[in-house]
Structure 1
Amino acid sequence: MKLVKATSPDELRSMGITPRIGVIGGSGLYDPGILGDAVEVQMHTPYGFPSDNLIVGRLAGSWVAFLPRHGRGHKYPPHKIPYKANAWALRAVGVSSVIAVSAVGSLRQDYAPGDFVVPDQFVDMTKAREYTFFDGPRVCHPQIGVEPFNEEIRRLLVEAAAKYNKVHDGGCYVCIEGPRFSTKAESRIWRDVYACDIIGMTLVPEINLIREMGMCYGLLALVTDYDIWVPHQPVTADAVERMSAEKLDLAKKVLVDVIPRIPDSLGEKCSREMANACI
């Protein structure tokens, strides 16, 4: 794979490379292995370096940009991921729609380990992250609550995932600060009081920042465990990694199915949704 040190997005575009679709890989997905003519792009952003170099390549005739959320080798824990740099880098190279892949815990008996979930809502319980690009001087209030996950991408993910695995259409993702897992008391609260369906540590502020940049966002979540609310089944990092590895090839098949079906025009819709955010 060729390493391209792109000092600006214009340099990448001068090579005829303008990816419209971005993929953010979660635990275990550090190299998509589905892209042809791939180049590795080293970028610097106003917010520092992204989690890793972008891998940009072709899939079904279109350029796609891939970024491993935790970096190759899983060097960034959830609360230290450079979320702003990641979002900025993807938008800067031309990405308008993002598909993310994440490992999650289940808060429901019927959302079993090994299942896919395509969530439609989220609850933010993080505490100490940089949540927005809108730090001033203009005052902005982005509205993403009605449809935080793009519905067209959600539909494509559900249809594709159903070909390869059991998938649940919809669900509420509660995002916690980490890096520790929940206590049993907390797990019961997320499940019984907040009525959430899955739990993870990386959705926020990733989804906020991607949407603020005017990009669409969809998530393919893999259930790796039952969190800690199920007696005698404590969640461990090792269990998460094992399940992620087991289902990795299926997640890649879903990506190969969905990416060519996302229209370029979809990104324009998501960009317009941010047009009236600022006062």
Structure 2
Amino acid sequence: MTTKIAVIGGTGMNQWPGLEIERRIELTTPYGAPSAPLLEGRVYGTRAIFLARHGEGHKLPPHAINYRANLWALREAGVQSIVAIAAVGAIAPWFEPGAVAVPQDIVDYTWGREHTYSDGREGSGLEHVEFTEPYSERLRQALIEAAGRAGVAMGAGIHGVTQGPRLESSAEIRRMQRDGCDMVGMTGMPEAALARELKLDYACLAVSVNWAAGVMGLGDIHAEIHQSIETGMGRVRAVLAESLPRL
């Protein structure tokens, strides 16, 4: 039976509580191995696939993730729609730690990552993929409606993606503010663009886990992240429970 929905889990959701795993799918792609085996099973009364973006044990830093292999493997497993979970820092004052958003646009500050399948390899071809709206509006609206049913407040905003794994400086965050970014993460690109190249529906559930550098003063950022992840991921699971059976 083909599974058409996948969740890519990141920091704070390296495992999917409640997923009844029926099989582990280990695939080799033309781009190497994905971060981890694909876990296929049932959750919230529907079938889904889960992929741990940072690998089993959360070992892969953002810049070292094989994004091309991850997206290719999901497509080979029959996936058509992807909900990507991302832990982000809050730039906009409305996006307090623990809150959840479904970004509607993205700014890429990463560098040096293998970011396309149009890489000049034999048979790869050249495609200037259309990326005006980087996220699937169908999926975004489904997540927003699910949040309403679950009683979870849901923002939108622009997602800025940096190289990592270090956190940003205050000056870098001020630049991102001027660029219009509402949040900052490290894994949203090239993931979103690769999904578009493969013609997969892709949307992001972003969890605010801390205030970005200089936004709300200095504090124990790691303690803030730990506390906010617990709150935010609980809201993410509530949204997934409402959305996945209807997708």
Return the TM-score normalized by structure 1. 0.82
Aligned pair in 2 of structure 1 residues 51, 237: CA closer, same or farther (>3 Å)? farther
User: What residue number does 2:130 align with?
Assistant: 143
Deviations 1:101-151 (A, max 9, x none): 111111111111111111000000111101100113522100022x21111
Tell whether 2:221 aligns with 1:221: no
Q: CA deviation at 1:44?
A: 1.8
Identity of aligned residues (%): 37
Aligned pair in 2 of structure 1 residues 53, 238: CA closer, same or farther (>3 Å)? farther
Aligned pair in 2 of structure 1 residues 235, 224: CA closer, same or farther (>3 Å)? farther
CA contact (8 A) 2:106 2:161 kept: yes
Where 1:204 maps in the other structure, the secondary structure is coil
Given candidates 134, 141, 154, the residue that maps to 1:167 is: 154
Structure 2 counterparts to residues 17-36 of structure 1, below 5 A: 17-36=1-20
Tell whether 2:78 aligns with 1:94: yes
User: What residue number does 1:65 align with?
Assistant: 49
How large is the Cα RMSD of the aligned pairs?
1.7
Tell whether 2:32 aligns with 1:48: yes
Distance in 2 between the 1:235 and 1:92 partners?
42
- Quick check: 245-254 or 71-80, which moved more? 245-254
CA contact (8 A) 1:42 1:54 kept: yes
List alignment gaps of at least 5 residues for structure 2.
none
Distance in 2 between the 1:27 and 1:58 partners?
22
User: What residue number does 1:115 align with?
Assistant: 99
Distance in 1 between the 2:182 and 2:69 partners?
29
Distance in 2 between the 1:247 and 1:60 partners?
19
Aligned pair in 2 of structure 1 residues 235, 81: CA closer, same or farther (>3 Å)? farther
Q: How many residues are treated as equivalent by the alignment? A: 243
CA contact (8 A) 2:100 2:232 kept: no
Deviations 1:165-223 (A, max 9, x none): 3221x2110101111111111111101x2011111000000111111111000111011
User: What residue number does 2:217 align with?
Assistant: 232
User: What residue number does 1:246 align with?
Assistant: 231
User: What residue number does 1:157 align with?
Assistant: 143
Q: CA deviation at 1:252?
A: 1.5
Tell whether 2:183 aligns with 1:188: no
Q: CA deviation at 1:225?
A: 1.1
Structure 2 counterparts to residues 192-203 of structure 1, below 5 A: 193-203=178-188
Q: CA deviation at 1:60?
A: 5.5
Distance in 1 between the 2:246 and 2:187 partners?
26
* Aligned-partner residue type, residue 158 of structure 2: C
CA contact (8 A) 1:227 1:234 kept: no
Q: CA deviation at 1:249?
A: 2.7
Where 2:54 maps in the other structure, the secondary structure is coil
Aligned pair in 2 of structure 1 residues 38, 239: CA closer, same or farther (>3 Å)? farther
Where 1:247 maps in the other structure, the secondary structure is helix
Distance in 2 between the 1:197 and 1:99 partners?
20
User: What residue number does 1:4 align with?
Assistant: none
Aligned pair in 2 of structure 1 residues 130, 60: CA closer, same or farther (>3 Å)? same
User: What residue number does 2:60 align with?
Assistant: 76
Deviations 1:12-45 (A, max 9, x none): xxxxx31101110111212212333522222222
CA contact (8 A) 1:87 1:210 kept: yes
Structure whose CA Rg is larger: 1
* Aligned-partner residue type, residue 240 of structure 1: I
Deviations 1:72-112 (A, max 9, x none): 22100110111111001100010011001111111111111
Structure 1 runs of 4+ aligned residues shifted over 6 Å read none
List alignment gaps of at least 5 residues for structure 1.
1-16, 263-279
Where 2:108 maps in the other structure, the secondary structure is strand
Where 1:58 maps in the other structure, the secondary structure is strand
Distance in 2 between the 1:231 and 1:23 partners?
31
Distance in 1 between the 2:187 and 2:219 partners?
20
User: What residue number does 1:104 align with?
Assistant: 88
